[in-house]
Amino acid sequence: MCWLCDSFVASDTLMAKPLPLRVWDRTSRKIVNEFMEDSKSTYEARPGRSPTQWLESEPLYDWLVSAWNNSRFSVRKIEPFIKKHHIDMSEFEPVIYRSYAEFFTRRFKPGKRSFPRTLGEMGAFAEARYFGWSNVTSGQRFPIKGKSLDPDAILGQKSKTYAQFFEGGPVIMARLAPVDYHHLHYPDSGATVDHYHEGRPIWTINWRALQSKDDILIKNERCIHILQTDNFGRLGFVEIGAMTVGRIVQVHAIDKPYERGEEKSFFCFGGSAVILFGEPGRWLPSQDILANTKNKVETRVLLGEPIARTSS
What count of residues does the chain have? Answer: 312
Q: How many angstroms separate the most distant Cα atoms in the chain?
A: 54
| 10 CB-near residues (< 8 Å, 6+ apart) | none
Q: List CB contacts of 297: < 8 A, sequence separation 6 or more.
A: 22, 23, 24, 31
Judge whether 36 lies within some domain. Answer: no
Note whether residue 26 is domain-resident.
no
Q: Looking at the domain assignment, is residue 82 inside a domain? A: no
**Residue 174 burial (C-beta neighbours within 10 Å; 0-12, 13-18, 19+):** buried
In the chain, the number of structural domains is 1
Residue 13 burial (CB < 10 Å; 0-12/13-18/19+)? exposed
User: Model confidence at 47, in pLDDT bands (50, 70, 90)?
Assistant: low
Q: In what order do the strands lie in the sheet with 306-310?
A: 121-123, 306-310, 283-285
- Identify the helix (H) or strand (E) that includes residue 133: strand 128-133
Computed over every residue of the chain, the mean pLDDT equals 81
Q: Is 104 within the bounds of a domain?
A: no
Is residue 129, in this structure, part of any structural domain at all? yes
Q: Is residue 208 part of a domain?
A: yes
* d(C-alpha 133, C-alpha 131), whole Å: 7
Contact 249, 263 (CB under 8 A): no
3-state secondary structure of 125: coil
Smallest CA-to-CA distance from 237 within 203, 264, 259, 201 is with 264
pLDDT at position 51: 53
Q: Which of helix, strand or coil describes residue 55?
A: helix
Task: Say how far apart CA 77 and CA 103 lie, in whole Å.
Answer: 10
- Min mean pLDDT across 82-96, 108-122, 131-145 is at 131-145
pLDDT bucket at 46, cuts 50 / 70 / 90: low
Residue 15 has pLDDT above 50, yes or no: no
Q: Residue 242 belongs to what domain range?
A: 121-310
> Does the pTM of the predicted model rise above 0.75?
yes
User: Mean of the pLDDT values across residues 14-31?
Assistant: 80
Q: Is residue 28 included in any domain, yes or no?
A: no
Residue 171 belongs to some domain of the structure: yes
